[in-house]
Amino acid sequence: MTADLNLPADLNLPADLNLPADVSPAAALEPTLDHEVVVIGAGFGGLYALHELREAGFSAHAFESGGGVGGTWYWNRYPGARCDVESVDYCYSFSRELNAEWAWSERFAGQPEILRYAEHVAERFDLLPMITFDTRITSARYDDGDHTWTVETDQGRRLRCRFLVAAVGALSATQVPEIPGHDRFTGPTHHTGRWPHEGVNLAGKRVGVIGTGSSGIQAIPEIAAEAAHLTVFQRTPNYSLPARNRPMSSREIWVAQRDYEGLLASGNATNAGVYNVGTGRPALADPPERRAEEYEHRWAVGGTDLMRTYGDTGRDVEANETLAEFVRGKIREIVADPATAASLVPTDHPIGSKRICLDSGYFATYNRDNVTLVDLRREPIVTITETGIDTDAASYDLDVLVFATGYDAMTGPLTRIDLRGADGDSLAQRWSGGPRSLLGIAVAGFPNLFTLTGPGSPSVLANVIRANEQHVDWVVACLTYLRERGLTRIEADAQAQDAWAAHVHEVATYTLYLHAKSWYLGANIDGKPRQFMPYIGGMVAYRKACDDCAAAGYPGFALAGAPRGSAAATPVTKPA
Ligand code: NAP
């Protein structure tokens, strides 16, 4: 999640977004659609999209590769999987009734509870009949002759729709690195993002974990507690803060259920979509003792509040260093063996320039007798073998190998689908030099496609459920606008898209995010273009840009369609 970066109030949003909307009559129209809207994915974005589309009178259907709803929370069942946004924030805000009846049991909900919440939403709002499970959309081709998408699934189905809403998530395309010998290991291997639903019995086993990002840092203490021995293969040490997870008190539950206005405010009035408890001062404005007090207080409280202590640690190297050094000091305090502590202390990137991790006893885990840290900067992996991992210094025998190696983030979930736009180009081809989109939600050359929380939007830098809600609201309002005018085609203008991409990049340069080799930049995937993908301008500025665009009749987009009363304006009601 983004720190509050105190970016300039006037973010100088690109002026040339004010392109005139080009409204022209539609070409030949095809009334025999399967649905007006196909939604790809039934995670939090997809579920809300279905709800709102149905409310607005659109025929919509979702296809979901998993066997149930929940998206990332359906797949990420690794031990210790837990949200790093507080439960009272990491939830929908669209329904006062939903909020009033749901009681979170923990400050940071675990994966099973978040999944139950997604399932509850799907049942409560009767969304399940609108979803086909165990079905992956493999390709989608746009036909400019009749303004439709033809979608194909891995179950052999082919169907046509007018609009495509990609609710594929930013972190759903798992990544296993091409380490030499990666297919030689004869024991079980598991990626944290595809953890078996029946669980994995690690008792008495020698387990190896590769990767110390958010997933590894959550899983490692749990695996250490169960396994006979755990060997952690760490390439880059990471900053992690104590979650200090705990049960919610009955008073907290009562307040969360009743304070619906507070819930809305946290999503709408803050840049990250969560409550903000910063001092409002620059870090160096406080003398060192005062700064230490502020940091100590937030470290003791737990969660990510520490990152928001001062407004400038996300963009000023010196300010950042005060916070980074505070956390390094904590790691040295917790880890008993000085050599292990030295390996765990991050020094190669500013704190917060990679996604900050939240943990429950991560660093203390290295004080256990049954845990070994292998510092891959000192002894790189030579090969994975049939029985374990060989570094250039030793052989480590393992029974189970866990890849906590992350994702082809933000673009991967979209480019792994064979999406073909108006001229037949694939999205993967179009984005081979890095993703470009207008407002992170539409791509030039791909009419009638909306990318929820796509690259170029706040997405992973915000509370993703709220970011999804904002995108869905915008899309449904846009589709309603088109319907009311008998329009059947909307496409981002290439020039407006370029202006937005330049703005997304410019805002990132105000920050320290470009100082780390992170997945935000595509740096975790060999050959992926280095481009800061999410929009760091914050939800407030971003929401305004989206709202202004809609209020002005979608400048920056070309609109087209048949006049009112034509076949195109006829609602499509064919069932799934
Ligand atoms: P990640 O942050 O990308 O971490 C991947 C880890 O694998 C890194 O430590 C990386 O090392 C290591 N790695 C990759 N390739 C390697 C190789 N060839 N050899 C050795 N190590 C290698 O992935 P993640 O932990 O799954 O987290 C991804 C994102 O998902 C998070 O940042 C967060 O946004 C989200 N997430 C959230 C939660 C939560 O809400 N609590 C939990 C899990 C995930 P390098 O750093 O050297 O590349």
pLDDT at 8 over 70: no
- DSSP structure string for 442-463: B-TT-TTEEETT-BTBSGGGS-
Q: Whose CA is nearest to atom 24 of ligand 1?
A: 406
For 391-428, what is each residue's pLDDT tens digit? 999 999 999 999 999 999 999 999 999 999 999 999 99
pLDDT range class, residue 20, cuts 50, 70, 90:
very low
pLDDT at 445 over 50: yes
- DSSP structure string for 381-440: EEEE-SSEEEESS-EEE-SEEEE---B--SSHHHHTSEEE-TTS-BHHHHTTT----BTT
- DSSP structure string for 236-297: S---EEE----BPPHHHHHHHHH-HHHHHHHHHSSSSSS-----SS-GGGS-HHHHHHHHHH
Q: Whose CA is nearest to atom 33 of ligand 1?
A: 214
pLDDT at 32 over 70: yes
Helix-helix angle 260-268:464-484, to 10 degrees? 80
327 Cβ neighbours under 8 A, 6+ residues apart: 239, 241, 306, 351
Measured in angstroms, how far is the CA atom of residue 381 from the centroid of ligand 1?
17
Distance CA 520, CA 194 (A): 21
CB–CB of 2/542 below 8 Å? no
pLDDT at 5 over 60: no
Q: Return the pLDDT at 13.
A: 52
CB–CB of 62/39 below 8 Å? yes
83 lines ligand 1 (CB under 6 A): yes
Rg of the chain over CA atoms, in angstroms?
Answer: 24
pLDDT at 276 over 70: no
What does the pLDDT average to over 369-375? 98
Task: Specify the 3-state DSSP secondary structure of 557.
Answer: strand
Please state the atom number of ligand 1 nearest to the C-alpha of residue 177.
Answer: 18
Give me the count of residues in the chain. Answer: 576
What does the pLDDT average to over 496-501? 97
Q: Return the pLDDT at 6.
A: 43
Q: Return the pLDDT at 269.
A: 75
pLDDT range class, residue 271, cuts 50, 70, 90:
confident
303 lines ligand 1 (CB under 6 A): no
CB–CB of 319/350 below 8 Å? no
Q: Return the pLDDT at 568.
A: 47
CB–CB of 281/319 below 8 Å? no
289 Cβ neighbours under 8 A, 6+ residues apart: none
For 320-329, what is each residue's pLDDT tens digit? 999 999 999 9
Distance CA 426, CA 79 (A): 37
Mean pLDDT of the chain: 92
Best residue among 1, 524, 525, 526 to mutate for probing ligand 1's pocket (most ligand atoms within 8 Å of CB) is 524
Distance CA 68, CA 347 (A): 41
Closest CA to 538 of 470, 436, 438, 452: 470
pLDDT range class, residue 7, cuts 50, 70, 90:
very low
Phi-psi region of 211 (alpha: psi -120 to 50; beta: other; left: phi over 0): left
pLDDT at 27 over 50: no
Q: Return the pLDDT at 212.
A: 98
For 192-243, what is each residue's pLDDT tens digit? 999 999 999 999 999 999 999 999 999 999 999 999 999 999 999 999 999 9
Best residue among 405, 515, 521 to mutate for probing ligand 1's pocket (most ligand atoms within 8 Å of CB) is 405
179 lines ligand 1 (CB under 6 A): yes
- Is the entire prediction scored with pTM above 0.75? yes
Q: Return the pLDDT at 565.
A: 44
pLDDT at 70 over 60: yes
pLDDT at 489 over 50: yes
